[in-house]
Amino acid sequence: MQVMLLSLCVLVLPFTRPCSTAPTSIPEGTSSPSTEPQVDLKLATEYLQQYYNLEKEPLGRMKRSGPAFTSKVKDMQIFFGLNATGVLDSDTLEVMGSPRCGVPDMEEYSHIQGARWNKNVLTYNIGRYTRDLPRITVDSLVESAFSVWARASSLTFVRSHTRNADIMVEFVTYEHGDLYPFDGPRGTLAHAFGPGQGVGGDTHFDDAENWTAGQTGFNLFVVAAHEFGHALGLKHSRNPDSLMYPTYRSSRRANLLSREDVANINALYSRGRSRPNPFSRYNWGSLSNPWTSVSLFPRLMQQRCDEELTFDAVSTLGDATFFFRERYLWIKHNEQYDIKEGPITNFMPKIETRIDAAFWVPRRSTAYLIHESMFWTVKGSLVKGKPRALSHFGFPAWVQDVDAAVHVVKTGRTLFFMHDIYWSYNENRRVMDFGYPKYISEDFPGVNMTINAAVHKEGFIYFFVGPQVYKYDFSQKLVVGVEKANSWLGC
């Protein structure tokens, strides 16, 4: 069967080839040949040949003057927003020496991207793992990288355990069967094929590199998120804030995607399915956001007794229980039957976003409300100070959001849940417990789905999973009851 390679992304670091490469002489007639070191000329020539279609000279001769070379230097400078002089100045050489992805920059740049999958539910499989990180960490980083795109689009990614998955993720070295061999440490980092049959979508990481979850080595979460953009059909961007910008950067803001990234992924994949709008998870006020319409809150008032009602977060605060959904809030006082409800800003004016997770620490009389990588501290009914980074709790750098959180008074631990793993935080010592994250399914048998919200009441943990609530006996490690989420609002 004929296989079409639609695109191939290669993250690379600049490197100097062995001395046995072809001669690197300067053409006759060039003035002041010593003004630019040979190593800079060699770097620039190889860079322009790989990314800007500079034709190779006969016998390997390199030219730093002449219309072709100068034109390609200007093309590169224009792409990166540099002063387009055609001269190899220090800024230009600095960019050329930066880690980057290997897709040529001379491809036509457009918000309307190229090939796409003809479906919105995609499967992925992790074949061979790296030895640099525990498998559970690789699983979580890969899932988080896919979630970056899922939250910003109509796409859903489902992990498969067969090799028939749409996107195969592999850690390999040197020749590995796709005609694009890796080259060992500090060369090519990874590559991804665009959508299509056969190897389409497959993403490979060079296992000769040092893969990490932090700032040292190469951050797998950041590289994977970039590569999966190519696996979905996206090309490179000239926007330095874009995840699809060619150069590799391990340090990024909490939201990896720029407005442009979101616009591009939605130009490829329509938002045809009914699901919570991912734009509401980002502070992009200039984008169209249907949750800002006045119809939202009456609709949620009417949905209170909907059989399919779900919550984003649930927490006790003092003698009341707070239920969060999108940017809406229900408050039920434990000793009263009436329920107060309305936009979150009606009760907490400083909070203008949805809440993804929340928990209450009784001995401090303090609640913590989490939105993506930030959290607010609430005492009484007052939001104290500005939001702080989720990393305050000791999460690794790649954790940018959590699905649910709950504080267990008896143990003094706060549990944070994300996808299929969880962390345990010691509130007394204010550090993460050793040995985490762990799999939810192993420590909470019977709870093997993504947890939307959790709350601790009267000695039990209640896990909100979709429209259902699992009553969990923490001491016996056993689900002892199941009920509807809407029953918590008196329905």
Question: In degrees rounded to 5, what are phi and psi of residue 78?
Answer: -65, -45
**Of 183, 211, 32, nearest in space to 102 by CA:** 183
Per DSSP, 346 falls in state H
Q: Which residues are annotated as a binding site for Zn(2+)?
A: 101, 176, 178, 191, 204, 226, 230, 236, 244
Q: Which two tokens stand for residue 8?
A: 């191939």
Whether residue 302 is predicted with pLDDT greater than 60 in this model: the reply is no
Q: What is the pLDDT of residue 273?
A: 36
Distances (CA, A) of 450 to 122, 446, 472: 18, 12, 15
Distances (CA, A) of 66 to 62, 166, 385: 11, 46, 60
Q: How far, in Å, CA of 39 to CA of 24, rounded? A: 9
Q: Which tens digit of pLDDT belongs to each residue from 175-196?
A: 877 767 777 787 678 888 888 8
Written in H, E and C, the secondary structure of 64-125 is CCCHHHHHHHHHHHHHCCCCCCCCCCHHHHHHHCCCEECCCCCCCCCCCCCCCCCCCEEEEE
Q: What is the pLDDT of residue 336?
A: 59
Q: What is the mean pLDDT of residues 307-320?
A: 88
Q: Which residues are annotated as a binding site?
A: 101, 132, 166, 176, 178, 183-184, 191, 200, 202, 204, 206-207, 209, 226, 230, 236, 244, 312, 356, 358, 405
Q: What is the pLDDT of residue 280?
A: 29
From 46, 143, 170, 227, active-site residue = 227
Most confident of 108-112, 196-200, 387-391: 387-391
106 pLDDT band, cuts 50/70/90, is low
**Half-sphere exposure (Cβ direction) of 87: Cα atoms closer than 13 Å:** 6
Higher pLDDT, 339 or 428: 428
Q: How far, in Å, CA of 77 to CA of 245, rounded? A: 14
Q: What is the pLDDT of residue 275?
A: 37
Is residue 227 annotated as part of the catalytic site, yes or no? yes
Q: How far, in Å, CA of 223 to CA of 11, rounded? A: 8
Whether residue 171 is predicted with pLDDT greater than 50 in this model: the reply is yes
Q: What is the mean pLDDT of residues 284-294?
A: 25
Q: What is the pLDDT of residue 120?
A: 87
Q: What is the pLDDT of residue 382?
A: 81
Q: Which tens digit of pLDDT belongs to each residue from 130-163?
A: 999 999 999 999 998 999 998 888 898 888 888 7
Q: Which residues are annotated as a binding site for Ca(2+)?
A: 132, 166, 183-184, 200, 202, 206-207, 209, 312, 356, 358, 405
Q: What is the mean pLDDT of residues 37-47?
A: 81
Superfamily of the domain at 1-275: Collagenase (Catalytic Domain) (3.40.390.10)
Report the chain's mean pLDDT, rounded to a whole number.
78
Domain residues of the chain, as ranges?
1-275, 296-489
288 pLDDT band, cuts 50/70/90, is very low
Q: What is the pLDDT of residue 51?
A: 72
Q: What is the mean pLDDT of residues 199-205?
A: 89
Burial of 104-121, coded b for 16+ CB within 10 Å and e otherwise, reads ebeeeeeeebebbbeeee
| Residues 182 and 10: beta-carbon distance below 8 Å | no
CATH number attached to the domain at 296-489: 2.110.10.10
56 pLDDT band, cuts 50/70/90, is confident
Stated pTM of the model: 0.49
Beta bridge partners of 247: 100
- C-alpha dihedral (466, 469, 472, 478), degrees to nearest 10: -70
Higher pLDDT, 61 or 84: 84
Q: What is the pLDDT of residue 30?
A: 38
The answer to whether 1-275 and 296-489 have equal CATH topology is: no
Q: What is the pLDDT of residue 292?
A: 26
DSSP output for 10-36 = EEE---PPPTTSPP-PPPTT-S-GGGS
The three-state secondary structure class of 441 is: helix
